[in-house]
Amino acid sequence: QKEVEQDPGPLSVPEGAIVSLNCTYSNSAFQYFMWYRQYSRKGPELLMYTYSSGNKEDGRFTAQVDKSSKYISLFIRDSQPSDSATYLCAMNTNAGKSTFGDGTTLTVKP
Amino acid sequence: DTEVTQTPKHLVMGMTNKKSLKCEQHMGHRAMYWYKQKAKKPPELMFVYSYEKLSINESVPSRFSPECPNSSLLNLHLHALQPEDSALYLCASSRGGLLLGNQPQHFGDGTRLSIL
């Protein structure tokens, strides 16, 4: 069983839709949680970083962490065609080892 | 453009060649990372340097040799690679500190490596 499971997708939504991306994890040593966006032929770009249970908002993006359920989510409001990319969840232990989910490919259609 | 710069962007090499990948950051970060990413797969951690010292080696074959000459630079020396080593090699950096994990990593755009 993988330490991090991410909804595989692919996901296709119309422009303006609310997108929900999700990951679950099994390792209690994960303390820090990130969401990255990766465009084709580019490196992952950090979108959100959080370390406590609850919600964190940044513009159209909201990251949600539930440590008791070992579940994290990323919500994208008013999705745009430019949001079309692969979204990766990632989790860190205190030692700095990052484990990534397999990624969800999102397409936002105009 | 990212604040982590990787060169070259593309590299084609034979199995007997020796080459190096270079990564540079000027954000004052003290932790640097090498990842390998195959197509349609997530990045896989290879090495972590903290304060120029190797702190994590994820059992990477010795044909990959990392080097951190100073806090801004990270190299990955390649020798006698195999075709299955063809991948995107990503460098990342983070602020660093006693708890490496409590700072997010910032990635470069990678070097796309092809082994003939």
Q: What pLDDT, on a 0 to 100 scale, did the predictor assign at position B2?
A: 65
Q: What pLDDT, on a 0 to 100 scale, did the predictor assign at position A8?
A: 80
Given a cut of 80, whether residue B97 has pLDDT beyond it is no
Q: How many CB pairs under 8 A join A and B?
A: 72
Say whether B42 and A103 touch across the interface (CB within 8 A).
Answer: yes
Query: Which chain B residue lies closest to A46 (C-alpha atoms)?
Result: B106
Say whether A103 and B102 touch across the interface (CB within 8 A).
Answer: no
Nearest-Cα distance to chain A for B108, in Å, is 6
Stretch B22-26: mean pLDDT: 96
Split at pLDDT 50, 70, 90, the class of A34 is: very high
Q: What is the pLDDT of residues A50-93, one digit of tens each?
A: 988 899 999 999 999 999 999 999 999 999 999 999 999 999 98
Using CA atoms, how far apart are residues A39 and A51, in angstroms rounded to an integer?
25
Q: What pLDDT, on a 0 to 100 scale, did the predictor assign at position A98?
A: 87
Nearest-Cα distance to chain B for A77, in Å, is 23
Stretch A26-46: mean pLDDT: 94
Stretch B64-88: mean pLDDT: 96
Stretch A11-27: mean pLDDT: 97
Average pLDDT of chain B is 93
Q: Any residues with CB less than 8 A from the CB of A23 and at least 6 apart, and which? A: A4, A5, A6, A7, A71, A72, A73, A89, A91, A101
Using CA atoms, how far apart are residues A46 and B32, in angstroms rounded to an integer?
16
Query: Which chain A residue lies closest to B43 (C-alpha atoms)?
Result: A100
Q: What pLDDT, on a 0 to 100 scale, did the predictor assign at position B99?
A: 72
- Across the beta sheet with B64-70, the strand order is B4-7, B18-25, B73-79, B64-70
Given a cut of 60, whether residue A44 has pLDDT beyond it is yes
Q: What pLDDT, on a 0 to 100 scale, did the predictor assign at position B1?
A: 53
Stretch B45-50: mean pLDDT: 94
Q: What is the pLDDT of residues B51-74, one digit of tens each?
A: 999 998 999 999 999 999 999 999
Using CA atoms, how far apart are residues B115 and B44, in angstroms rounded to an integer?
19
